[in-house]
C-alpha cells in the first residue's frame, strides 16, 4: 500500500513540485504586496485576468510564451549536452539580424518562401553566433559560460553599430530598420483562434507559436527517440563514458550548441516578423535569460518547457497589466514577483523535495 | 408613433449633432503618459517628463495614467489600454516609441499624441524635438573656457544617434573657443544598461582624467552620476545633463546641459485642457529656453561673469543664426 503510494507520488512529483513552488513564490509576493499596503488577492486576480481573462490577454501571453519556448528549448538542448548556454540573448539578437535580412532584402519572393527563408536565416545566424564559443570550449577548453556571456556583449555591440550606422532608416532618431516587405509578416493566428470562439483582439500572436511548438515536438523526438539524441545525452551526462563508447563529446558539444543557437535565433521570427515588422534595438529584451529559468523549471523537457514558458508569458503579460491597473505596484515590483517565481521554481527547486519525499515515501 | 416633417427631422438631427459636439468639448481631458524603458525615475530624461506630469496634476487636479515599458510589444499594447480607459491625450517619451505612436495615431485619429524626441507626420501627433546640439555647444564652450589642460572629455550612454548629436555639438563648441583643444569622446556601452551603470561611468571619467582631461560632460542618464562623482573625487569639473544637476555636487558641477522635457509634457497637457492643442512638429531650442545651460547658486562661482557673457553672446548668435551648430544626421 505505502509502496504504491510512494510510486504514485514519484510519478506526480514533476507536476506537484513546480505547482507548490509557484504557490510559495506567489505567497511571498503577496506578503510583499501586502506590506506596501495593496491588496494581494486583487493583485493576483489582476495578473490572472490580464493574462488569461480575455482573448487579447491570452494572445499576448501566448505571444511572450513563444519567445520563451524558443529560448527555453535552446538552453535545454545545450544542457543535455552538458553545456550551460547563457548566450541565448546574443544568439537571439544576431539571429534576428538574419531574419531581418530576409525581411528587408528578400521580401519580393512569395510569402511562404520568405517565411521559410526567415526561419533558415534566423537559425543560421543564431547557430553561427553560438558556434564560436562552442568551438572554443570543445577545442580550446575555454569555459562556455564565460564565452557565451561575452558573446552577448559582442553581439549587442555589433547590432547597435549595424542599427545606428548601417541599417537605420534615414531621417529619424530611433535606431531601427525600415519596415519589412509585407510578405515577411508572419500570419496572425486570429483566424485559427476564432474557430475556437476566442477573439485575440489586437494581440500580435502569430504563426511563430506553431513553429515553436513544432520545434518543441521535434526536439523531444530528436533527444529521446533518435540515435543522435541518445549520443548527445550520453556525451552530456558522462563524457568519459561517451568516449569509451566511441562517441566524441567534443563533436556533440559543437552540434548541440549549433542546434541551441539555431533555436534561440528563431526568436526573431516571433518578435520581428510576427510583431514589430522591423529590426529594433535590443528586441530580445531579456528573453534569452528568461529562457534559462524556463528550461530549469521545465526540467529541460520540451513539454515541461512549453508549460513553464506559458507561466512566464503569463507573468510578463499579467505583470504589465498589474503595473497598469494598480499604479502603486511599480514596474520594479513586477520584476520582483517574476524574480521570486524564478527563485522558488529554479534555484530553490529542492526546497520542498526532501520533506515531501519523507512524508510520502516512508518506506524508502 | 409621431412622424416629424422631413425638415424637422433633419433639424432634430442637427441639434443632436451639436449637442454631441458640445458634450465632447465639455468632456474633460484624460492624460496618459508612457515612459521608455529607462523607467520613470532615471534621474534624467524620463524623470524630467514625470516632473512635467506632476506639475500638471498638482495645478489642475486632473489625474494622469502612467506606464513604464519593459519590452517592445508593450508599446502599442498599453497605448491601446490607455485609450480604452478613456485617455484622450498620450505623451510617449523617447524616440523608441515613434513607430508605435504612428501606428496608434492612425488607428485612433481622435486621440491626441505627443512624441518626445521623435517625429510622426500625422495631424493628431505633436512631435517635440529638442536642439540638444545647441546646449551641448554652449557646454563645450564653457568646458573649453575653464579647461587648464586643453583637454575636455565626453561620456555618452548608449551609442545612438541622439548621443552622437550631444557629442558633436559639444566638440564643436569646445573647438570654437580653442581650435587645438583635444576632446576625448567615450560611449559607455551598446546595451540599454549603458544608461544605468554609474560604476563604468566613473571608470571612463577616471581614464579620461588620466589622459589629462579636466572637464567632463556626460549624456548618460544614471551612468552620469558616476561620472560626476569621479570628477568630484578627483577635484575636477563635470557637466550635467537633461535635468539641472548643478546641485548634485555643488562646486564640482560646472553647469548642466538642460533639456526641458517637463515643459513639453506640461504644456501639451495644458494646451489640450484649454483646447489650444495643435499637432505637428516642434523644434525646441535656445530661443524658447527649452534647452540651455544652467546657472544658479550652486555654480555661480564657477561660471564667472566673463564666461557668462561669452556664453550669452554665443546663445544670441546661435538664435540669430550667426553661429550655426553642426547637427548629427
CB atoms within 10 A of CB B185: 18
Q: What number of other Cβ atoms are within 10 A of residue A147's Cβ?
A: 19
Cα–Cα distance, B96 to B118 (Å, whole number)? 8
Say yes or no for a CB contact (<8 Å) between B73 and A172: no
Q: Cβ separation of B76 and A316 shorter than 8 Å?
A: no
- B28-130+262-288 with B132-259+299-320: one CATH topology? yes
pLDDT digits (tens, 9 = 90+) for B153-207: 999 998 888 899 999 999 999 999 999 999 999 999 888 788 888 999 999 999 9
For residue B23, is pLDDT > 50?
no
Closest CA to B295 of B309, B314, B275: B309
Residues B5, B10, B11, B13, CA torsion sign: positive
pTM of the model: 0.86
Out of 3.40.50.720, 3.40.50.1820, 3.40.50.2300, 3.90.1150.10, select the CATH number for domain B132-259+299-320: 3.40.50.2300
Q: Under an 8 A CB cutoff, do A275 and B72 touch?
A: yes
End-to-end CA distance of chain B: 68
Q: Which class is B28-130+262-288 in CATH?
A: alpha beta
Candidate from A64-68, B68-72, B278-282 with smallest mean pLDDT: B68-72
- CA B250, chain centre distance (Å): 23
Q: How many CA atoms lie less than 13 Å away from A240 in the CB half-sphere?
A: 0
pLDDT at A79: 96
For A17-35, how does the pLDDT look when each residue is reduced to its tens digit (9 = 90+)?
888 888 999 999 999 999 9
| pLDDT greater than 70 at residue B1 | no
Q: What is the pLDDT of residues A148-186, one digit of tens each?
A: 999 999 999 999 999 988 888 887 778 889 999 989 999
Element (H, E) at B80: helix B74-84
Select from A60, A331, A332 the Cβ nearest to the Cβ of B77.
A60
Distance CA B202, CA B44 (A): 17
Do B73 and A271 lie within an 8 Å CB cutoff?
Answer: yes
Report which of B227, B56, B236 is spatially closest to residue B143, judged by C-alpha positions. B236
The continuous run of DSSP H or E covering B8 comes out as helix B6-26
Q: Between chains, do A332 and B72 touch, taking CB under 8 Å as contact?
A: no
Nearest-CB residue to B159 (from A164, A171, A316): A164
> Residues A188-193: what's their mean pLDDT?
91
CB of A254 within 8 A of CB of A232? no
Q: Which residues of B touch A203 (CB under 8 A)?
A: 77
How far is A232 from A219, CA to CA, in rounded Å? 12
Please report, for chain B, the start and end positions of each structural domain, with discontinuous segments joined by +: 28-130+262-288, 132-259+299-320
| Best CA proximity match to B292, nearest among B246, B241, B220, B253 | B241
**pLDDT digits 0-9 by tens, B229-243:** 999 999 999 999 988
Residue in this structure with the C-alpha cell 489582476, named with its chain if needed:
A46
What kind and span of H or E run contains B241?
A: strand B237-242
In A305-364, the residues whose Cβ lies within 8 Å of chain B are: 316, 320-321, 323-324, 327, 330-332, 334-335
Contact A42, A318 (CB under 8 A): no
Do B73 and A157 make contact, defined as CB atoms within 8 angstroms? no
Dist. CA A291–CA A66, nearest whole Å: 11
- Residue, of A290 and A5, whose pLDDT is higher: A290
C-alpha cell at B325: 551648430
Helix ranges (H only) for chain A are 2-35, 40-52, 55-80, 88-105, 111-135, 144-161, 190-195, 208-225, 227-237, 239-244, 249-265, 267-268, 287-297, 302-325, 331-342, 353-360
Query: What integer best gives the mean pLDDT of chain A?
Result: 91
Q: Which of A60, A157, A174 sits opposite B118 (nearest CB)?
A: A174
Q: How far is CA A91 from CA A185, A296, B52, B298, B310, in A?
A: 22, 19, 40, 48, 52
Q: Please report, rounded to a whole number, the percentage of residues in chain A having pLDDT higher than 70.
A: 98
Amino acid at each position: 500500500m505505502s509502496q504504491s503510494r510512494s510510486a504514485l507520488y514519484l510519478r506526480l512529483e514533476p507536476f506537484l513540485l513546480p505547482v507548490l513552488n509557484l504557490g510559495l513564490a506567489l505567497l511571498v509576493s503577496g506578503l510583499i504586496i501586502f506590506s506596501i499596503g495593496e491588496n494581494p488577492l486583487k493583485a493576483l486576480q489582476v495578473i490572472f485576468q490580464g493574462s488569461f481573462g480575455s482573448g487579447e490577454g491570452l494572445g499576448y501571453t501566448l505571444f511572450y510564451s513563444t519567445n520563451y519556448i524558443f529560448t527555453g528549448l535552446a538552453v535545454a538542448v545545450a544542457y543535455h549536452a552538458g553545456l550551460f548556454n547563457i548566450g541565448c540573448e546574443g544568439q537571439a539578437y544576431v539571429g534576428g539580424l538574419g531574419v531581418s535580412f530576409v525581411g528587408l532584402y528578400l521580401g519580393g519572393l512569395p510569402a511562404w518562401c520568405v517565411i521559410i527563408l526567415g526561419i533558415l536565416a534566423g537559425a543560421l545566424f543564431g547557430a553561427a553566433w553560438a558556434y564560436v564559443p562552442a568551438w572554443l570550449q570543445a577545442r580550446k577548453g575555454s569555459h562556455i559560460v564565460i564565452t557565451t556571456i561575452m558573446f552577448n556583449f559582442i553581439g549587442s555591440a555589433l547590432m547597435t553599430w549595424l542599427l545606428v550606422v548601417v541599417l537605420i532608416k534615414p531621417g529619424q532618431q530611433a535606431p531601427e530598420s525600415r519596415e519589412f516587405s509585407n510578405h515577411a509578416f508572419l500570419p496572425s493566428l486570429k483566424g485559427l483562434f476564432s474557430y475556437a470562439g476566442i477573439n485575440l483582439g489586437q494581440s500580435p500572436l502569430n504563426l511563430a507559436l506553431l513553429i515553436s511548438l513544432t520545434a518543441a515536438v521535434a526536439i523531444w523526438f530528436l533527444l529521446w527517440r533518435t540515435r543522435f539524441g541518445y549520443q548527445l545525452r550520453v556525451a552530456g551526462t558522462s563524457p568519459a563514458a561517451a568516449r569509451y563508447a566511441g562517441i566524441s563529446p567534443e563533436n556533440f558539444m559543437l552540434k548541440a550548441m549549433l542546434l541551441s543557437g539555431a533555436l534561440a535565433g528563431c526568436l526573431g521570427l516571433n518578435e520581428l516578423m510576427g510583431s514589430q515588422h522591423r529590426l529594433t534595438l535590443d528586441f530580445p529584451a531579456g528573453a534569452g535569460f528568461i529562457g534559462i529559468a524556463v528550461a530549469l523549471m521545465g526540467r529541460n523537457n520540451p513539454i515541461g518547457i512549453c508549460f513553464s514558458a506559458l507561466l512566464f508569458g503569463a507573468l510578463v503579460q499579467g505583470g504589465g497589466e498589474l503595473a497598469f491597473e494598480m499604479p502603486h505596484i511599480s514596474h520594479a515590483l513586477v520584476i520582483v514577483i517574476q524574480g521570486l517565481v524564478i527563485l522558488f521554481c529554479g534555484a530553490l527547486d529542492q526546497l520542498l523535495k526532501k520533506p515531501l519525499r519523507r512524508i510520502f515515501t516512508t518506506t524508502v | 408613433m409621431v412622424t416629424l416633417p422631413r425638415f424637422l427631422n433633419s433639424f432634430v438631427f442637427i441639434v443632436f449633432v451639436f449637442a454631441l459636439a458640445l458634450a465632447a468639448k465639455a468632456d474633460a481631458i484624460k492624460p496618459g503618459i508612457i515612459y521608455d524603458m529607462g523607467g520613470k525615475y532615471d534621474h534624467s530624461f524620463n524623470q524630467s517628463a514625470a516632473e512635467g506630469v506632476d506639475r500638471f496634476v498638482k495645478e489642475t487636479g486632473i489625474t494622469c495614467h502612467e506606464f513604464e515599458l519593459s519590452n517592445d510589444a508593450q508599446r502599442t499594447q498599453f497605448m491601446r489600454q490607455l485609450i480604452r480607459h478613456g485617455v484622450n491625450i498620450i505623451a510617449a517619451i523617447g524616440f523608441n516609441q515613434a513607430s508605435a505612436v504612428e501606428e496608434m495615431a492612425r488607428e485612433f485619429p481622435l486621440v491626441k499624441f505627443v512624441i518626445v524626441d521623435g517625429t510622426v507626420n500625422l495631424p493628431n501627433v505633436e512631435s517635440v524635438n529638442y536642439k540638444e546640439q545647441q546646449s551641448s555647444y554652449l557646454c563645450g564652450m564653457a568646458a573649453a573656457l575653464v579647461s587648464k589642460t586643453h583637454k575636455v572629455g565626453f561620456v555618452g550612454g548608449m551609442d545612438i544617434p541622439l548621443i552622437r548629436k550631444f557629442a558633436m555639438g559639444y566638440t564643436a563648441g569646445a573647438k570654437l573657443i580653442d581650435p587645438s583643444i583635444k576632446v576625448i569622446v567615450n560611449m559607455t556601452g551598446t546595451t540599454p544598461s549603458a544608461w544605468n551603470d554609474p560604476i563604468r561611468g566613473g571608470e571612463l571619467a577616471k581614464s579620461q582624467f588620466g589622459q589629462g582631461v579636466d572637464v567632463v560632460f556626460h549624456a548618460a542618464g544614471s551612468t552620469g552620476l558616476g561620472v560626476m562623482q569621479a570628477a568630484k573625487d578627483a577635484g575636477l569639473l563635470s557637466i550635467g545633463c537633461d535635468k539641472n544637476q548643478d546641485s548634485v555636487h555643488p562646486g564640482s558641477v560646472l553647469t548642466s546641459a538642460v533639456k526641458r522635457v517637463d515643459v513639453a509634457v506640461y504644456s501639451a497637457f495644458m494646451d489640450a485642457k484649454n483646447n489650444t492643442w495643435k499637432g505637428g512638429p516642434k523644434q525646441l531650442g535656445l530661443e524658447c529656453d527649452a534647452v540651455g545651460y544652467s546657472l544658479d547658486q550652486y555654480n555661480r562661482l564657477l561660471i564667472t561673469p566673463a564666461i557668462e557673457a561669452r556664453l550669452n553672446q554665443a546663445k544670441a548668435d546661435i538664435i540669430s543664426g550667426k553661429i550655426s551648430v553642426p547637427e548629427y544626421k
